[in-house]
Amino acid sequence: MDALTPHGGLWAMMANATPTVIFVLCILAFMSLGCWSIIFVKIFTLTAAKRDTARDYARFQEADTLRAAMHSLGQSRQSPAFNVGRMAFEELVRMEQADLDPSEKGHIAMDNIRRVLRQAVSQELAKMSASLSFLATAANATPFIGLFGTVWGIMNSFHAIGLMQSAALAAVAPGISEALIATAIGLAVAIPAVIAYNFFLGYVTAIEGELVNFAGAFLNRIQREVTWTPREAAAETPHRRPAAERF
């Protein structure tokens, strides 16, 4: 092993790599730092969002009136459910004060509130999904970036064989081993990124389901408690339809 790595260990091999391979390793290091920063931030933010949404949905269902429900949600203003409910409640207040034909006011209000709920849910999901695209990009790109560095390093090693006119393994093994580090590091970046991306995507999907349920409960409560809204059944919220069509 000492003959194959005359300059020492892993860091020494990286230091003696070609400039192109070193540049590739710098790119991989930057992407690894970005991935782990996103992973640590998302662990805390998505866990808190899922917990808060489930808790606030239960509080909303248990409250006696819509105003009491909104007051209970206001205890956690960072909750996605609170943001969705606040936007819908503000639209309800605006519609209640609007100077419209009483026979049409209720139908217009329910349509507006449905649109506001869809918009609010989409905004919350967009905020929670922010930066996940970087994880997906890293998971797909870093193995190929590392492979490029490896191919370049091996190409230089074979070029050295031609210059030395010797095919001895001991002469080219250090250069090949240095080049292979790029592929190994590329995989080391990609594997955590793809695992984290799929894990966080499942979290976002679960939160989306909770928000859709909350939006349906909000519409049901409006139709039960607000006297000037129409009395037809509240919109359905099936789980297999796109979020924009669920309420």
The alpha carbon torsion through 58, 60, 62, 63 (nearest 10 deg) reads 160
Task: Report the range of poorest mean pLDDT among 25-29, 155-159, 182-186.
Answer: 155-159
Number of H helices, E strands in the chain: 7, 0
pLDDT on residue 216: 92
Provide the pLDDT confidence category of residue 247 given band limits of 50, 70 and 90: low
- Residue 25 CA to residue 17 CA, distance in Å, equals 10
Mean pLDDT of 213-227: 87
Instruction: Give the highest mean pLDDT range of 2-11, 90-99, 220-229.
Output: 90-99
Summarised one tens digit per residue, pLDDT across range 97-154 is 877 776 677 788 888 999 999 999 999 999 999 889 999 999 999 999 988 888 887 7
Provide the pLDDT confidence category of residue 243 given band limits of 50, 70 and 90: very low
Provide the pLDDT confidence category of residue 5 given band limits of 50, 70 and 90: very low
Task: Report the range of poorest mean pLDDT among 77-81, 216-220, 229-233, 243-247.
Answer: 243-247
Q: Do 217 and 84 contact (CB within 8 A), yes or no?
A: no
pLDDT on residue 73: 81
pLDDT on residue 49: 92
Provide the pLDDT confidence category of residue 66 given band limits of 50, 70 and 90: confident
Mean pLDDT of 37-48: 94
- Is 3 a residue whose pLDDT tops 50? no
In angstroms, what CA-CA distances link 192 with 47, 170, 197? Answer: 18, 34, 8
Q: Output the DSSP codes for 188-202.
A: HHHHHHHHHHHHHHH
pLDDT on residue 124: 93
Q: Do 214 and 62 contact (CB within 8 A), yes or no?
A: no
Provide the pLDDT confidence category of residue 240 given band limits of 50, 70 and 90: very low
